[in-house]
Structure 1
Amino acid sequence: MAASTFWLPLHPTKWLSSALSLLLVSIMGKPVGLQGVQVTVCSQLGAPSNRGVFQDGDVIIGGLFSLHYIPSAVEQVYTRLPHYEPCCLIHYDFFSSCGLSLELQALKYMYAMAFAVEEVNQNSALLPGIKLGYHILDSCGRYPWALQSALSLVGGDRHNCNLTPVPLLIGGHASTTGVILSRILGPLSVPVISYLASCPCLSDRSNFPNFFRTIPSDIYQARTMAQLAIRLNWTWIGAVLANNDYGQMAIQVFQEEIKGKRVCLEFIETVHRETIVSDARRVALTIQSSTATVILIFCWYTDVQKIFVELAKRNVTGRQFLASEAWSTSDDLLQDITISKVASGVLGVAIRSSTIPGFENYLKKLSPSHYPNDDFLREFWEKEFGCSVVNASHNISTSSHVKKASLPPCSGIESINEVQHFFSDITQLRVAYNVYLAVYAAAHALHSLLSCPSGNIPPQNNLSSCSSPKHIRTVELLQHLNTVNLTTPQGEVLYFQGGDPPAKYDLVNWQNTPKGTLKLVVVGHVDGFDLHLNESAIQWSTGSNQVPDSVCSKSCPPGTWMADRKGEPVCCFDCFPCAEGEISNKTDSLQCEQCPSEFWSNAERIACIPRQLDFLSFNETLGITLTTAAVSGVTVTTAVFVVFLFYRQTPMVRANNSELSFLLLLSLKLCFLCSLVFIGRPSVWSCRFQQAAFGISFVLCVSCLLVKTIVVLAVFRSARPGAETLMKWFGPGQQRGSVCFFTCIQVIICVIWLSLSPPRPQSDLGFQGSKVTLECTMESVVGFSLVLGYIGLLACTCLLLAFLARKLPDNFNEAKLITFSMLIFCAVWVAFVPAYISSPGKYVVAVEVFAILASSYGLLLCIFAPKCFIILLRPEKNTKKHLMAR
Structure 2
Amino acid sequence: MRFTIEEINNSSSLLPNITLGYEIYDVCSESANMYATLGVLAPSMRRRVEMISNFSHYQPRALAVIGPHSSGFALTSATILSIFLMPQISYEASTEMLSLKHIYPSFLRTIPSDRVQVEAMVLLMQDFRWNWVAMVGSDTDYGRKGIQTLYKAMTKRDICVAYRGLIPANKNASSTELKNMVRDIVGTKVNVTIVFSDRRSARVFFEVVVQENVTGKVWVGTENWLLAPLVSDVPGIYQVGTVIGMSVKASDLEAKWWDTGSNNHLNISDTSSSCNQLCTQCHLLPPTPDARAMKSSYNVYSAVYAVAHGLHSLLGCNSGACRKDEVYPWQLLQKIKQVNFSLHKNWIYFDVNGDPMTGYDLIMWKWTGPAWSFDTIGSFSRNPDRLSIDWDRIVWHTEDNQVPASICSKSCERGEKRTQVGLHRCCFDCDACPAGTFLNSSDLYTCQSCKKSQWAPVHSETCFERYIEFLSWAEPVSWALLTAITLLMLLLMSTAIIFALNITTPVVKSAGGKMCFLMLGALACASSSLYCHFGKPTWLMCQLRLPVFSISFSICLSCMAVRSFQIVCIFKLAAKWPALYETWVKHHGPNLFIGASTAVQAMLSLTLLVINPSVPHKDYERVAELILFECSQENSVLLMLAMFYNVLLSLFCFVFSYMGTDLPKNYSEAKCITFSLLIYFTCSISYFTTYSIYQGKYLVAINLLSLLCTLAGVFGGYFLPKGYIILFRADLNTTEYFQMSIQSYTTRRRSA
TM-score, normalisation: structure 1: 0.62
Indicate how the Cα distance of structure 1 residues 600 and 149 shifts in structure 2: closer, same or farther if over 3 A, else same: closer
Q: Work out whether residues 114 and 134 of structure 1, in 8 Å CA contact, stay in contact via their aligned partners in 2.
A: no
Distance in 1 between residues matched to 2:139 and 2:37, nearest whole Å? 29
- CA shift for structure 1 position 151: 6.6
Distance in 2 between residues matched to 1:438 and 1:577, nearest whole Å? 58
**Structure 2 residue 292 is the aligned partner of structure 1 residue 438:** no
Instruction: Give the secondary-structure state (helix, strand or coil) at the position aligned to 1:512.
Output: strand
- Structure 2 unmatched runs, 5+: 48-59, 725-730
**Structure 2 residue 24 is the aligned partner of structure 1 residue 122:** no
- CA shift for structure 1 position 484: 3.4
Partner of 1:75 in structure 2?
Answer: none
Indicate how the Cα distance of structure 1 residues 877 and 530 shifts in structure 2: closer, same or farther if over 3 A, else same: farther
What amino acid is the match of 1:444? Answer: H
Indicate how the Cα distance of structure 1 residues 623 and 149 shifts in structure 2: closer, same or farther if over 3 A, else same: closer
Q: Work out whether residues 691 and 699 of structure 2, in 8 Å CA contact, stay in contact via their aligned partners in 1.
A: no
**Structure 2 residue 26 is the aligned partner of structure 1 residue 139:** yes
Partner of 1:289 in structure 2?
Answer: 187
Q: Work out whether residues 581 and 768 of structure 1, in 8 Å CA contact, stay in contact via their aligned partners in 2.
A: no
Pick one of 112, 134, 145 that aligns with 1:238: 134
What amino acid is the match of 2:203? Answer: Q
Q: Work out whether residues 125 and 131 of structure 2, in 8 Å CA contact, stay in contact via their aligned partners in 1.
A: yes
Q: Work out whether residues 525 and 549 of structure 2, in 8 Å CA contact, stay in contact via their aligned partners in 1.
A: yes
Distance in 2 between residues matched to 1:801 and 1:570, nearest whole Å? 71
- CA shift for structure 1 position 879: 1.8
Indicate how the Cα distance of structure 1 residues 671 and 314 shifts in structure 2: closer, same or farther if over 3 A, else same: farther
Indicate how the Cα distance of structure 1 residues 612 and 176 shifts in structure 2: closer, same or farther if over 3 A, else same: closer
How big is each residue's C-alpha offset from its partner over 1:271-301, in whole Å with a ceiling of 9 and x where there is no partner?
1342131355334323333222221111123
Distance in 1 between residues matched to 2:271 and 2:523, nearest whole Å? 127
Distance in 1 between residues matched to 2:580 and 2:180, nearest whole Å? 123
- Pairing 1:709-724 to 2, within 5 Å after superposition: 709=564, 711-712=566-567
Distance in 2 between residues matched to 1:726 and 1:147, nearest whole Å? 127
Partner of 2:265 in structure 1?
Answer: 363
Partner of 2:359 in structure 1?
Answer: 505
Partner of 1:561 in structure 2?
Answer: 417
Partner of 1:708 in structure 2?
Answer: 563
- CA shift for structure 1 position 618: 13
Instruction: Give the secondary-structure state (helix, strand or coil) at the position aligned to 2:252.
Output: coil
Q: Percent of aligned positions with the same letter in both sequences?
A: 22
- CA shift for structure 1 position 695: 4.8
Q: Work out whether residues 832 and 848 of structure 1, in 8 Å CA contact, stay in contact via their aligned partners in 2.
A: no
Q: Work out whether residues 558 and 589 of structure 1, in 8 Å CA contact, stay in contact via their aligned partners in 2.
A: no
Pick one of 165, 173, 195 that aligns with 2:91: 195
Distance in 2 between residues matched to 1:135 and 1:610, nearest whole Å? 75
Partner of 2:464 in structure 1?
Answer: 609
Partner of 1:73 in structure 2?
Answer: none
**Structure 2 residue 735 is the aligned partner of structure 1 residue 879:** no
Indicate how the Cα distance of structure 1 residues 852 and 536 shifts in structure 2: closer, same or farther if over 3 A, else same: same
**Structure 2 residue 342 is the aligned partner of structure 1 residue 488:** yes
Instruction: Give the secondary-structure state (helix, strand or coil) at the position aligned to 1:517.
Output: strand
Distance in 1 between residues matched to 2:713 and 2:481, nearest whole Å? 13
How big is each residue's C-alpha offset from its partner over 1:469-491, in whole Å with a ceiling of 9 and x where there is no partner?
6xx45445455456433323435
**Structure 2 residue 276 is the aligned partner of structure 1 residue 421:** no
Distance in 2 between residues matched to 1:258 and 1:714, nearest whole Å? 94
How big is each residue's C-alpha offset from its partner over 1:206-236, in whole Å with a ceiling of 9 and x where there is no partner?
7655544333333443344345435654322
Indicate how the Cα distance of structure 1 residues 743 and 271 shifts in structure 2: closer, same or farther if over 3 A, else same: closer
Q: Work out whether residues 687 and 761 of structure 1, in 8 Å CA contact, stay in contact via their aligned partners in 2.
A: yes
How big is each residue's C-alpha offset from its partner over 1:593-652, in whole Å with a ceiling of 9 and x where there is no partner?
2223333214541232344666689999999999999999999999x99xx99x99998x
Partner of 2:163 in structure 1?
Answer: 267
- CA shift for structure 1 position 135: 3.2
Q: Work out whether residues 709 and 818 of structure 1, in 8 Å CA contact, stay in contact via their aligned partners in 2.
A: no
Equivalenced residue count is 705
Pick one of 588, 591, 604 that aligns with 2:446: 591
Pick one of 760, 764, 769 that aligns with 2:624: 769
Partner of 1:578 in structure 2?
Answer: 433
Partner of 1:89 in structure 2?
Answer: none
How big is each residue's C-alpha offset from its partner over 1:558-587, in whole Å with a ceiling of 9 and x where there is no partner?
31222222x422222222111111112537
Indicate how the Cα distance of structure 1 residues 795 and 587 shifts in structure 2: closer, same or farther if over 3 A, else same: closer
Distance in 2 between residues matched to 1:680 and 1:857, nearest whole Å? 22
What amino acid is the match of 1:539? Answer: I
Distance in 1 between residues matched to 2:104 and 2:504, nearest whole Å? 127
Indicate how the Cα distance of structure 1 residues 802 and 172 shifts in structure 2: closer, same or farther if over 3 A, else same: closer
Distance in 2 between residues matched to 1:725 and 1:537, nearest whole Å? 109
Q: Work out whether residues 206 and 234 of structure 2, in 8 Å CA contact, stay in contact via their aligned partners in 1.
A: no
- CA shift for structure 1 position 447: 2.6
How big is each residue's C-alpha offset from its partner over 1:652-697, in whole Å with a ceiling of 9 and x where there is no partner?
x578336479769968986997798699877779989976884576
Distance in 2 between residues matched to 1:188 and 1:741, nearest whole Å? 111
What amino acid is the match of 1:578? Answer: C
Q: Which moved more, 1:361-370 or 1:283-292?
A: 361-370
What amino acid is the match of 1:214? Answer: T
Instruction: Give the secondary-structure state (helix, strand or coil) at the position aligned to 1:178.
Output: helix
Distance in 2 between residues matched to 1:809 and 1:588, nearest whole Å? 73
Distance in 2 between residues matched to 1:796 and 1:740, nearest whole Å? 16
Partner of 2:153 in structure 1?
Answer: 257
- CA shift for structure 1 position 326: 0.9
Q: Work out whether residues 349 and 505 of structure 1, in 8 Å CA contact, stay in contact via their aligned partners in 2.
A: no
Q: Work out whether residues 633 and 672 of structure 1, in 8 Å CA contact, stay in contact via their aligned partners in 2.
A: no
- Pairing 1:32-111 to 2, within 5 Å after superposition: 110-111=2-3
- C-alpha RMSD of the superposition: 6.2
How big is each residue's C-alpha offset from its partner over 1:324-373, in whole Å with a ceiling of 9 and x where there is no partner?
22112324545768323435351x23223322499776634544564798
Pick one of 346, 357, 379 that aligns with 1:524: 379
**Structure 2 residue 198 is the aligned partner of structure 1 residue 304:** no
Instruction: Give the secondary-structure state (helix, strand or coil) at the position aligned to 1:221.
Output: helix
Q: Work out whether residues 472 and 536 of structure 2, in 8 Å CA contact, stay in contact via their aligned partners in 1.
A: no
How big is each residue's C-alpha offset from its partner over 1:861-883, in whole Å with a ceiling of 9 and x where there is no partner?
69999999xx99xx999722123
Indicate how the Cα distance of structure 1 residues 282 and 809 shifts in structure 2: closer, same or farther if over 3 A, else same: closer
Instruction: Give the secondary-structure state (helix, strand or coil) at the position aligned to 2:302.
Output: helix
Q: Which moved more, 1:807-816 or 1:266-275?
A: 807-816
Distance in 1 between residues matched to 2:654 and 2:218, nearest whole Å? 93
Distance in 1 between residues matched to 2:701 and 2:523, nearest whole Å? 20
Indicate how the Cα distance of structure 1 residues 380 and 618 shifts in structure 2: closer, same or farther if over 3 A, else same: same
Distance in 1 between residues matched to 2:523 and 2:37, nearest whole Å? 117
Partner of 1:329 in structure 2?
Answer: 227
What amino acid is the match of 1:590? Answer: Y
Distance in 2 between residues matched to 1:722 and 1:551, nearest whole Å? 93
Q: Work out whether residues 523 and 537 of structure 1, in 8 Å CA contact, stay in contact via their aligned partners in 2.
A: no
- CA shift for structure 1 position 305: 3.4
Distance in 1 between residues matched to 2:74 and 2:522, nearest whole Å? 107
Distance in 2 between residues matched to 1:758 and 1:479, nearest whole Å? 85
How big is each residue's C-alpha offset from its partner over 1:39-97, in whole Å with a ceiling of 9 and x where there is no partner?
xxxxxxxxxxxxxxxxxxxxxxxxxxxxxxxxxxxxxxxxxxxxxxxxxxxxxxxxxxx
Pick one of 325, 344, 350 that aligns with 2:242: 344
What amino acid is the match of 1:420? Answer: P
Q: Work out whether residues 113 and 439 of structure 1, in 8 Å CA contact, stay in contact via their aligned partners in 2.
A: yes
Indicate how the Cα distance of structure 1 residues 598 and 619 shifts in structure 2: closer, same or farther if over 3 A, else same: same
Distance in 2 between residues matched to 1:572 and 1:542, nearest whole Å? 26
- CA shift for structure 1 position 375: 8.6
What amino acid is the match of 1:487? Answer: F
Instruction: Give the secondary-structure state (helix, strand or coil) at the position aligned to 2:265.
Output: helix
Distance in 1 between residues matched to 2:117 and 2:541, nearest whole Å? 74
Q: Work out whether residues 673 and 717 of structure 2, in 8 Å CA contact, stay in contact via their aligned partners in 1.
A: no
Distance in 2 between residues matched to 1:843 and 1:131, nearest whole Å? 98
